[in-house]
């Protein structure tokens, strides 16, 4: 079962071999892999080489290592999305062939913080509508959402019949989101969010922070979305600039 069949670094060959074994069903989702000693012996590589391969696979969320328990095949994401295309969470779930749902947790009117004043370019007298929700796909919680909107855009509050804030803003305020400035941050276990999303302790979260603007470059709403990394993955198309 040795993998020493080409001239690439051994750890790259190990990565490809383990990924192939997962794809072909040798190792199934959430199945425990053999011990490092056994797996290194099967593949004909050193444990140091195997550990480097496992490190990369863990970074790619292909596997998950549980201290004192072992290494397991990670569950495949329910869906994936291109980060370069701005879509609502509702549309993202629909495009994956899943049924979107919403669990509304809370909504409140707050005074803007200093960060809010900077983000929205508003005054300290402008009220902020804070909405806390859990988004589901086929009834399964996948995203915990915190949204902040200037109350002047939704003076009557949010329409709970419409799950998408994009649709709420379009229908109630005639405001269409043109683009967003986004930042993605990896996050481990979160004391509040992880239990709400029914995450295992080892399940990582992907935090997407976005400021949304209309076609006139006016900031409309700010969102912080916590995605379960085992349920959704993001990809981006990168193009080389012409010389």
Domain ranges of the chain: 8-71, 87-226
- Model pLDDT for residues 182-220, shown as the tens digit of each residue: 999 989 889 999 999 999 887 889 999 999 999 999 999
State mean pLDDT over 18-47. 92
Of residues 86 and 170, the one with the higher pLDDT is: 170
- pTM for the model stands at 0.71
Decide if 174 contacts 152 (C-beta within 8 A).
no
Whether residue 84 has pLDDT greater than 70: no
Q: What is residue 203's predicted lDDT score, i.e. its pLDDT?
A: 83
Q: Which of 25-29, 115-119, 227-231 has the lowest mean pLDDT?
A: 227-231
* CA–centroid distance for 215 within its chain: 26
Q: What is residue 161's predicted lDDT score, i.e. its pLDDT?
A: 64
Rg for the chain (alpha carbons), in Å? 22
Percent of the chain surpassing pLDDT 70: 89
State mean pLDDT over 220-232. 90
Q: What is residue 9's predicted lDDT score, i.e. its pLDDT?
A: 83
Of residues 82 and 152, the one with the higher pLDDT is: 152
Q: How far apart, in whole angstroms, are the C-alpha atoms of residue 9 and residue 45? A: 11
- Model pLDDT for residues 85-124, shown as the tens digit of each residue: 677 788 888 887 889 999 999 999 999 999 999 999 999 9
* CA–centroid distance for 243 within its chain: 34
Q: What is residue 4's predicted lDDT score, i.e. its pLDDT?
A: 57
CATH number of 87-226: 3.40.1410.10
Q: How far apart, in whole angstroms, are the C-alpha atoms of residue 155 and residue 172? A: 9
Decide if 205 contacts 193 (C-beta within 8 A).
yes
Percent of the chain surpassing pLDDT 90: 56
CATH number of 8-71: 1.10.10.10
Banded model confidence at residue 61, pLDDT cuts 50, 70, 90: confident
Whether residue 80 has pLDDT greater than 80: no
Decide if 119 contacts 218 (C-beta within 8 A).
no
């Amino acid at each position: 079962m040795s993998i020493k069949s080409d001239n690439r670094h051994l750890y790259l060959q190990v990565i490809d071999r383990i990924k192939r074994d997962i794809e072909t069903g040798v190792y199934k989702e959430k199945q425990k892999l053999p011990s490092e000693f056994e797996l290194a012996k099967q593949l004909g590589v050193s444990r140091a080489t195997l550990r480097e391969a496992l490190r990369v696979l863990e970074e790619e969320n292909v596997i998950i290592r549980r201290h004192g328990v072992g290494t397991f095949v990670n569950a495949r994401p329910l869906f994936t999305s291109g980060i370069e295309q701005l879509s609502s969470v509702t549309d993202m779930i629909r495009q994956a062939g899943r049924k979107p749902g919403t669990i509304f947790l809370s909504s409140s009117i707050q005074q803007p913080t200093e960060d809010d004043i900077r983000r929205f370019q508003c005054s300290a007298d402008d009220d902020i509508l804070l909405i806390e929700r859990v988004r589901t796909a086929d009834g399964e919680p996948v995203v915990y959402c915190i949204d902040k909107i200037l109350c002047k855009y939704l003076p009557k509050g949010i329409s709970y019949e419409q799950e998408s804030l994009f649709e709420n803003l379009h229908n109630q305020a005639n405001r269409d989101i043109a683009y967003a400035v986004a930042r993605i941050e990896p996050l481990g276990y979160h004391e509040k969010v992880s239990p709400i999303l029914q995450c295992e302790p080892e399940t990582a979260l992907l935090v997407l922070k976005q400021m949304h603007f209309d076609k006139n470059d006016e900031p409309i709403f700010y969102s912080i979305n916590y995605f379960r990394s085992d349920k959704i993955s993001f990809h981006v198309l990168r193009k080389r600039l012409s010389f």
